[in-house]
Structure 1
């Protein structure tokens, strides 16, 4: 099998000619001669047949070809390179197999990092990069978190429409790779791109956001969703009613909702048994907010649990660390020391303020006490 070309200190035009010859040697329909129209036309023709190296299936050869194409491409002025970059991205998304997909992922990442930070083409490269990450299940290599993503585009932010398209794709990819927490954050960012004027256009995104948040077994703080404009636009609809139950109501309310709207719950891709388990956890958190001491009988009644399942449920709650508590099996009670609040509104801010004020007062008392002790010791030393 013919080895990959090695390019050293030669001009982009000569480098392109070497690529032409190499690809022609692999059976590609391309001339070895330089294009009289210039390097941009050379690149178009090379990119059009560069998948000839995909058929060979050797990662080192494919990577060498792709890296060399990138090294030429970044030298072309931006105003003449847009179509070339898009054609390259499209070609790489069609690479077969996960191994070649990984090589293409690296090549696009190299292109993304090589482009000027002010280039609007970086968005298009990154979008196609995520497409490949989805196909190869390598999203962790392309996406760290929302904050890092924003940093990457700080010098040339995408338009709201572009961000919406990217966030939808990222949400899909993150869910596929079982990164539900990151997927939820991306979906919230997506809804945040809508304004009061166009919130009505975000209906499907808002419904998808609510459903994925409810289905995520690790998402319990749902209150922030209610403040999002697209979610507010859903007030009066069943999906908004269901979200409100998960935000601040109890298991009994959910059971009544499910009894009246079974088909709707199922149509949203939600599992009733998982919903019940989540509502039990949320209901227990609500109990723990106002009851430092909870009996097994109360838990059994409020959470509709058989007596023999109460202890197991409490153990599961403590594993989540949503509630810090101690279980007394002999007394059949739970002693709560702290809990995460289901909602964080004015009352919770007041409670936090009072706690901080109390902490400040106590620190002041300790300081005064230390001063008194220090003064007494100093006086004793002087007397001696």
Structure 2
């Protein structure tokens, strides 16, 4: 029996197709579509089944790029999506996904300039893509260790005027991809939290490492506090005199 005809895999795809008919359920439809695509492991015994899901992988990429409120995806980690990279028909679709998840606005503009008809063939609107890529680029700028982004760098990277910088920062905040504050005096944005555009295996490993460090720090703090407390037994006999 073919891979896509059995088990919960087919159910994920069926649910996704039902939900996509309702625009208000677009995110839920996408979620079930990615669950379906994730069932293709890419291992040797599965490699012959990957082409069966090629069209669905393309649909997932286009839906992600088109969505104005989805800024994170693990599609690049999926073997069923990776097969598109060297596909004669769909390699540009894969390239577009890679730009949206790993690069900045300048890369997208170069991509569009090289083939301006590509977006239209998939129902994508250039202006909408520019808007999303500006937000994606702003998130990428926030990845510095200092968490500080100069206004001048935002202006240059997003291709906007100086007066538009704070508008785009606020737009990122309302889109819930950044938590930050603007230091207008020093012309910098100070970021406290950002959304990871790609959240795959490497991001999970990094998160586990951070949690391990956090647990160790908490344990050390508790040990230090306990060590600094006076011994209760000693405290109880202090001030007692014998007659």
Q: Which has the higher contact order (CA 8 A, sep 6+)?
A: 2
Cα distance in 2 for partners of 1:198, 1:233 equals: 11
Deviation at 1:346? 6.7
Distance 1:204 1:345, change over 3 A: closer
How many residue pairs match? The answer is: 226
1:295 aligns with 2:164: no
Structure 2 match to 1:201 = 52
Q: Is the contact made by 1:196 and 1:229 (CA closer than 8 Å) also made in structure 2? A: no
Structure 2 match to 1:182 = 28
Q: Is the contact made by 2:12 and 2:33 (CA closer than 8 Å) also made in structure 1? A: no
Deviation at 1:263? 0.8
Cα distance in 2 for partners of 1:163, 1:341 equals: 27
Cα distance in 2 for partners of 1:175, 1:307 equals: 42
Q: Is the contact made by 2:12 and 2:32 (CA closer than 8 Å) also made in structure 1? A: no
Give the gaps of 5 or more residues in structure 2.
41-45
Q: Give CA-to-partner distance per residue, 1:195-228, whole Å, 9 cap, x none.
A: 4212112222111111011111222112x21232
- Rg larger in 1 or in 2? 1
Q: Give CA-to-partner distance per residue, 1:47-66, whole Å, 9 cap, x none.
A: xxxxxxxxxxxxxxxxxxxx
Q: Give CA-to-partner distance per residue, 1:91-138, whole Å, 9 cap, x none.
A: xxxxxxxxxxxxxxxxxxxxxxxxxxxxxxxxxxxxxxxxxxxxxxxx
Q: Is the contact made by 1:160 and 1:193 (CA closer than 8 Å) also made in structure 2? A: no
Structure 1 match to 2:217 = 362
Q: Over aligned residue pairs, what C-alpha RMSD do you find?
A: 2.6
1:231 aligns with 2:81: yes
Q: Is the contact made by 1:181 and 1:218 (CA closer than 8 Å) also made in structure 2? A: no
1:279 aligns with 2:139: no
1:308 aligns with 2:158: no
Distance 1:178 1:265, change over 3 A: same
1:217 aligns with 2:68: yes
5 Å matches for 1:106-185? Answer: 159-160=5-6, 164=10, 167-168=13-14, 170-171=16-17, 173-185=19-31
Cα distance in 1 for partners of 2:220, 2:15 equals: 55
Distance 1:280 1:175, change over 3 A: farther
Structure 2 match to 1:103 = none
Cα distance in 1 for partners of 2:136, 2:171 equals: 13
5 Å matches for 1:25-64? Answer: none
Cα distance in 1 for partners of 2:103, 2:216 equals: 36
Distance 1:187 1:259, change over 3 A: same
Give the gaps of 5 or more residues in structure 1.
1-157
3-state SS, counterpart of residue 235 of structure 1: coil
Deviation at 1:258? 0.7
Cα distance in 1 for partners of 2:80, 2:149 equals: 38
Q: Is the contact made by 1:294 and 1:333 (CA closer than 8 Å) also made in structure 2? A: yes
Deviation at 1:274? 1.4
TM-score normalised by the chain length of structure 1: 0.53
Tell me which protein shows more helix as a share of its residues: 1
Q: Is the contact made by 2:16 and 2:32 (CA closer than 8 Å) also made in structure 1? A: yes
Cα distance in 2 for partners of 1:176, 1:346 equals: 32
TM-score normalised by the chain length of structure 2: 0.82
